[in-house]
Every structure is written in C-alpha cells, then in structure tokens.
Structure 1
C-alpha cells in the first residue's frame, strides 16, 4: 500500500480528529484502534447510552482521568483543548465541534443517521458513512451535498461494500474486465464428507426454521463435491435445496450489495441474488457467463456467495471477490496461469480478499478524507437500485415495520423508483413506521401501504434525491422515447 507516501507528501493537515456517533460494535472498534493508528485521534464519542460511549474509550485503554462528559459545544471544545476525550449522549453536539474534522456515523438507525450526516455536512465536516441503512436510501444525495459543501462523504474500509468498491475500482484501473463480483456472507458452510454433516460457522444467533447443522442424504452428497464442467446451474440449484435448512443470507447482505451496485453499475441477475454456496475454487466456475458454463447471461453482475468448505480448508472470511478476465489473449494467459483460480476453460479467474475487519481497518477511509480530502468509494454513485421488502408473514394495519434483521420482511433488489403511491417502497423508509393497511404474506410493500412520518428528514432527502437523479434521468430519456 502507498498510504504512508500519500499522507506524508500530499496531506492538507498533519492530523485528523474524528468524532464517532454510535458506540456499537463497529464504532467502538474505530475508537479502540485510535491508540495504535498514526495521524488519527478520536476526540468525541456519542451514544444514547452514556455507558456505551464512555465504554468505547475504556476498551481502548484510555485512562479515566482524560475522559470527560460534555453536554454542550463549549464544554466539549474546552475539554478537547485541554487534552481530554469527550463522550456525550447528545449526538448532534459532535457535528458542531470545531475540534472534529470528520464524523463517523454508525448509529445503524436510518432516520437518525440522515440527521447527523446532513448536519455534519452543513457544518463542513467530512462524513464516513457506516450506517448502510441510510446510505442505501439517500447516499447519492448526501454525497452530492457534501461535494457542493467542499467536504467528503465516503463509504468505509472495513464494511464489505466499501472494500468491494475499492477492489472493483482497482480491477478497472489495471484493465481487467469484471464478469461478476460481490461479497461473502459472514457465515460459512462447513461440510464433512466423511460424516455427511454440513454445519454453519457464524457469530449470529440462529432462529427457526433454520438449524446449525444438517445431515446430507447420501443421494445428495455428490452435489456438494466440486462442480463438474458444464454443471453449475444444476449444482447450484440442488445446493439451494439441500442446504436450505442452514441459515441463509439476510436483508442486510442484500443492502450492502445494493450500495455496491449503485457505486459500480454492476447489476443483480436476480432480485433476490443467487447467493450460492460455493467453494472458492467454484466461484469462477459458477459466477461467469453461460457461454463458459456459468450462471450469468452476460458480464457485469453482482451477487453473494456463502463459502462452502471442508473443515481443514481456508475460507472467504466474509471478504469480497471479483471474477475477471483479460481481453487480450496473452494477458489472460498470465491471469489464468500465475496462481489465480480459473474456471474450466480459463476464461475467468477469481480474485478475492478473504477478510473484512470492520472498524479495525476503517482508519484508511477516515484518513483519506481528513488528510487528503478524497473518499474511498467512486465518483459514480447513482441511485440505480433500491432495496425493497416483501412481507414474510401477514402484517396487520398499524404494525411497525422492522429493520433488516427482522424476520417480518424479506428483501429484494430492484431498479430504483421515486417515492410515489404504488411504487415499491425503499426498505428503510419503512423502518420504524407503521403499516397503513393489512399486508398479506408474499406482498411487495409499496408506498401506499406505509404511514409516512411527519417531519422526516430521511423521507425529505429521498424526495430530493428522486428529483435530482431519477426525475432528471426520465427527462433526459423523454426525447429519445418520443423519437422512437
């Protein structure tokens, strides 16, 4: 990496002071890396739980004597000038501090996230957007507003979609053709061929109807062997049935891939994504074009993979991957024969990063924004796709919609539509709001099925985003439609 060269030669200031809003697992990891990260200081942490905000500093090893509570901008700025780190239960305060260069928004609550991000931008602070629920809903307009304010709005290293965007940009910069790409789910399927038992390794709780392990019927075990040439569609379809009793990807997985699609222009082959259980060696076999034995009708697809491996094999570690080729025959020979894992006819190879370190590695995005004034995403961030929801069970009028972890709803990725009655509702405009009608299981939730909250900044920003991007796109297409 050349980060140290960039920082030493091109930095616009000599240090970055960050404020973290939301001291959950991700935000806390940013704080705990502070003592070990050159050029970065987390000077403020906010959370509605004071114990969580203060606890982030204590977990980082800061002495209690230099941690101070603040409930006003004046008190906080004075404490920071005196060399203290402040914690607060007033998140907006962080966006107003003169001592903060960049706000790391990690509340996980889309409405609150929009409020804090916009306020930070208005106060000329950079924003590291960790709350994907907000980013997938109004990220493009926030990025545009930040650019107009002369500050940075960035996805973050550590989150899978942020890492994937960088891997994609790297591939394009060296002239690789991206056939497909995506992220690995955090859970991995471990299959013991001797016992016929498949189990999941995950840090997430397992809820019915899923279970932690299943025994594979002897007649089905061949489908968990390496996919033979020309058999990817059959094997992937059979595995979906055979391994369906193990926990499957969640709405939060599709959320990250929606953001990545909006940054890269890659498109889902299915609105649910394929999310096949695959060995690393099978990714280029299955996730290439049909002409070469894969699943996709053409290149440029985005998807998920759940790593399928033997107990002693290494996995994907919740990392990210690309399936690529070189369009020059000699270059492609190099790609396919110098240690990369290729498909059967050497027309595609997988390049992967087998880890994502969450807040532990987010400092690169924070420092790139704070020192250099650049983001670690891409400039082409457009509302191409929306994450939308399907009722997983009957929902009663007046019932509150849950978030991406709720079993109440399942997710789909569809082309973005503006807020309008009858259109599919962007999923996180539902979160925390009430159903206006009874919604039968299996129904796509549309805007006329949700009670719009009063004075919602998230909804307002979404309408602004629609006006700036979707309406302009339709207007630009109108003359062509008339000619046709």
Structure 2
C-alpha cells in the first residue's frame, strides 16, 4: 500500500471529527503516510482542536462558515472548527473520519458527510455500533464506502479472521484479550489510572467497566454474523492466550451457537487479540502440528498487539482507493450492548451514558430480546429512570423516559428498520 500511495498523482484529502487522543494520533498519521492530507479538523472544544493542530505543527485557520473553510483549504491550510457537520461539507475531502467519542452529535454529522459524497470511516466505535446498518445503507446509495477503522481490536481481529478463512479454516471464535475488568468503575474512582495514561475519565471508565469491550465485539458480531454465548460473554481468567483450549469447550460452543465472540481476562499477550479456527483436513492437521500449532482440529491464532491510529491508514486508503470496507455491519443488528445498573437506581435518577456513574454495558444477541428490550448503552445518556432498578439488573426501555426527538434515537430507529432487526418492533413501540 505504501508504494501505491507514493505513486498517486494527487493527495487523499481527509476531514475529521474529534481532536482528542485518537484524533491527535490520526492527524499525526496523516502527516506520516504518503499522499494523505488533513484539510479540516473539528472538535466542539475549539481549544482542543487548535492545540492538536499546533502540536502537529500544521498551518491552520479557525473558521465558522463554509466559505471561510474552503478559502482556508485553497490557501493550503487546515480548517479548524467547532462543528463537525461543517467539516463534513469540505469539498476537497474525499473521506470523513469520525474520531470523536460523540454519539448524539455523530447522529447529526455522519449523515452530512455521506450526503456530501464522502467515504465514511469510523474510529468512533459507539456511533458505529448504534447507527452502522443505516449509515452503511446510505453510503451504498451514495456510491461511497462505509467502514470501521483499522487498529482498534475489532479491526485487528477481523484481519485475523480474514486470514484464517483464506487458509481454509472455519471460524469458531473471534476473541479479545482484556487486561483488567471492574464493572463498577466510575469517573471518580478511575482518576489515578486515567491520569497515568493521559485519558479522559469517561473513556478510561468505559475501558475498565467492559462497555468498550462489548461494543467492539458487537461490531464484529454484526459484521460476521457471530453470536455471544451468554450476556457479556464468558471472559475466563487466563495467564496466556494458549490456555483458550482448556478454558472453553470449543466443540460444544460451536455446536450450540456456531461461531461466537468472547474474550479472556488478564492474559498475555496483553493488548493482543486472537481467533480460533477449525480444520479437519488430515494433511493440514499434520502440517499444523509440524508448525507447532497443535494437534487440532481447533487452532488458536493470535496477535500480540493492536496499535490504534498507527494502523488506521490502510483501511482508510482501501475505502478511498478501492471502495472496499475492512469491516461493516453486513448482517445488521445481530448483537447490541445493553445498559445494566452500576448501582441501585430509583425513579428520577439520570443515566449518564457510557463511562459514567449509573450503568455499564453487556453485549447480548438481539434475537434474544423480548418485546421490551433493554436500552442500548449507546442511548443511555440524559435518560430519566422511571422505576426502581437494582444494581446489576438490565435497564429495560420501559423503565426510562427520553426525548423522542433526539437525533440519536431517531437514527437508531432508522438503523434497526434498515436491516429489519429483531428489536425494531419492540423499540418503535417503546414510550418516549
């Protein structure tokens, strides 16, 4: 890909939402990768966007309207603004990257990018999960590509899965390796760890309480038609990924559920991912034993790292140059992540979203939801609880009130309808 990019006659112009940790990394990678140029960067905290541009030593100008934005780009500068919907309208940009952690705002600006003919690449896993089927459909109608980005765990696992399937193996398990889990972490308790890692407190909480893990694995489930064997997956503790054979009854899992998503906890290689493939071919089994992969027929393949923004550009370039997606929700809403109470909740309490004080998220199969399913954790922000809910109970849609005109709720409903999801009727009947 590098040689191909170097041979291009023109640049790949990028507009981006989000100037936090991920946006900062992606801007740096645009500078390091041949042919890429970031022409517009948006963040609701304008000072964060300015700091990002100055840290990267990129010439920029702050703009607030479309004319000034295009003048800025014509003058060879990067346009910096507060409104991602403005950046999404930048004429030179071929691709729009959502590197924010916004959900409600993403429901507004992501469709704008598609309406203006941009390929849409998601480094915002939460918005990707909530709205992906609808945005994928809209992208196809516009003749552009919708894709999850590379570098995060779900993208890296997808590449492992692509490899083992190319080799002739059947996928049995797509697996994540999580270092530490505390379902009750909150933005106060997480401060020491977040400060050490220079992370936003809500973001670090979402990593620690397992919500982000569920979101990543639900994205894989929706792309590859995988199931979770139980709400939240199993997640046994392990010392090393090689113990997967001993920790899971792979044959029984595969027979009951087909290919699944799951994870192991506390195992080496920390930061890695894995996939389990099945092969009963006698010749291949002899060769796999020779290659020290075991006797089979279940084989573990793993990668000891994922590098987030560092790995992202291949998937972005592929979307632009080949109109091909690394990962998208081709099977609709197979799985979702639903909100569970972190503490006892009473009427009048507010849910405060992903990485907050009130709830964590567990992945579940959408087909297992009844007519009043749980509220997706991606929508569980600024929502009022109407009945008593005990700690660790699932929070049903019928137990909350939210503004029915919210952009994220409306787009989520469109997403369910676009793929005739199992929960579409129940969710459309839920009271606002």
Band the TM-score falls in, shorter-chain normalisation: 0.7 to 0.9
Structure with higher Rg: it is 1
Contact 2:237/2:266 (<8 A) preserved: yes
Q: Which residue of 2 aligns with 1:132?
A: 125
Superposition deviation, residue 248 in structure 1: 6.4
* Matching residue within 4, 24, 31 for 2:27: 31
Q: Which residue of 2 aligns with 1:55?
A: 51
Secondary structure, aligned partner of 1:322: strand
Against the structure 1 CA distance between its residues 326 and 418, is the aligned structure 2 distance closer, same or farther, given a 3 Å change threshold? closer
Q: Secondary structure at the match of 1:99?
A: coil
Give the secondary structure class of the aligned counterpart of 1:167.
Answer: helix
Residue number in structure 2 paired with 1:333: 286
Change (3 A) 1:98 1:298: closer
Q: In 2 relative to 1, CA 443–287 (structure 1 residues): closer, same or farther, beyond 3 Å?
A: closer
> Aligned in 2, Cα 1:407/1:288: closer, same or farther, shift over 3 Å?
farther
Deviations 1:424-478 (A, max 9, x none): 2222122232223332334321112222214222211222232232269999xxx
Give 3-state SS (helix, strand or coil) of 1:362's partner. Answer: helix
User: Residues 407 and 327 (structure 1 numbering): CA distance in 2 closer, same or farther, change over 3 Å?
Assistant: farther
Aligned counterpart for 1:163 among listed residues 146, 151, 156: 156
CA contact under 8 A between 1:165 and 1:378: conserved in structure 2? Answer: no
| Distance 1:125-1:270 versus aligned 2 partners, 3 A rule | same
1:123 aligned onto 2:73: no
Contact 1:268 1:413 in 2 (8 A): yes
| Cα distance, 1:59 vs structure 2 | 2.3
Q: CA separation in 1, counterparts of 2:392 and 2:219?
A: 24
Distance in 2, matches of 1:323 and 1:420, equals: 31
The secondary structure found in structure 2 opposite 1:405 is: coil
Structure 1 CA distance, aligned partners of 2:124 and 2:149? 10
Deviation by residue 1:164-188 (Cα, 9 ceiling, x = unmatched): 2232123222211122122112x36
CA distance in 2, matches of 1:467, 1:420: 17
Q: Aligned residue for 1:258?
A: 218
Which secondary structure does the structure 1 equivalent of 2:350 belong to?
A: coil
Per-residue Cα deviation, 1:93-140 (whole angstroms, up to 9, x for no partner)? 101110211111122121111211111111111111122111211211
Structure 1 gaps of 5+ residues are: 190-199, 212-246, 309-314, 476-484
Q: What's 2:416 paired with?
A: 466
Q: Is contact 1:419–1:425 with CA below 8 Å preserved after alignment?
A: no
Asked if 2 retains the 8 angstrom alpha-carbon contact of 1:125 and 1:151, the reply is: yes
Contact 2:219 2:329 in 1 (8 A): no
User: CA contact under 8 A between 1:433 and 1:450: conserved in structure 2?
Assistant: yes
* Contact 1:128/1:155 (<8 A) preserved: yes
Measured against aligned partners, the alpha-carbon deviations of 1:269-304 in whole angstroms (never above 9, x if no partner) come to 12121112221221233245256xx89856512111
1:372 aligns with 2:322: yes
Determine the structure 1 residue equivalent to 2:364.
Answer: 414
Give the match's secondary structure for 2:355: coil
Following superposition, the deviation at residue 349 of structure 1 comes to 2.0
* CA deviation map 1:19-70 (0-9, x unaligned): 11111111110011222111111111111112211222222233xxx22111
> 2:120 & 2:423 partners in 1: Cα distance?
27
Map of 2:14 onto structure 1: 18
* Distance in 1 separating the partners of 2:371 and 2:424: 18
Confirm or deny: 8 A CA contact 2:137 2:418 kept in the other structure: no
Aligned length: 407
Judge conservation of contact 1:16–1:101 (CA < 8 Å) in 2. yes
Match of 1:73 among 58, 61, 66: 66
In structure 2, relative to structure 1, the CA distance for the partners of 1:298 and 1:419 (3 Å cut) is: closer
Cα distance in 1 between the residues matched to 2:174 and 2:352: 29
5+ residue gaps, structure 2, are 194-206, 426-432
TM, length-normalised to structure 2: 0.85
**Of 79, 101, 104, which aligns to 1:108?**
101
Question: 1 CA distance for matches of 2:88 and 2:254?
Answer: 47
